[in-house]
Amino acid sequence: MILAVLFPVAQAMGWLLAPHFLTWPPLLKALLQSAVVVTLMTYLLMPLATRLAGNWLKQ
């Protein structure tokens, strides 16, 4: 379930952030992308996914 949420979010962040940070060093871009993805996953997306799949997870 984590991969089903994580992969699209990570890909979307890379696609959305790339045009804005073309001149940034690769390490700094990776740090920013990781920070955004981890924050979204921890506080927004995984709690939502867990709630939506609650019945399935309890079986």
pLDDT, residue 59, reads: 82
Provide the pLDDT for residue 29: 92
Q: For residue 14, what pLDDT is reported?
A: 87
Taking residue 7's Cβ as centre, other Cβ atoms within 10 Å add up to 10
* Token pair belonging to 3: 């991969």
pLDDT along the chain (59 residues), means of 10: 90 90 92 94 94 87
| Distance between CA atoms of residues 48 and 5, nearest Å | 10
pTM of the model: 0.81
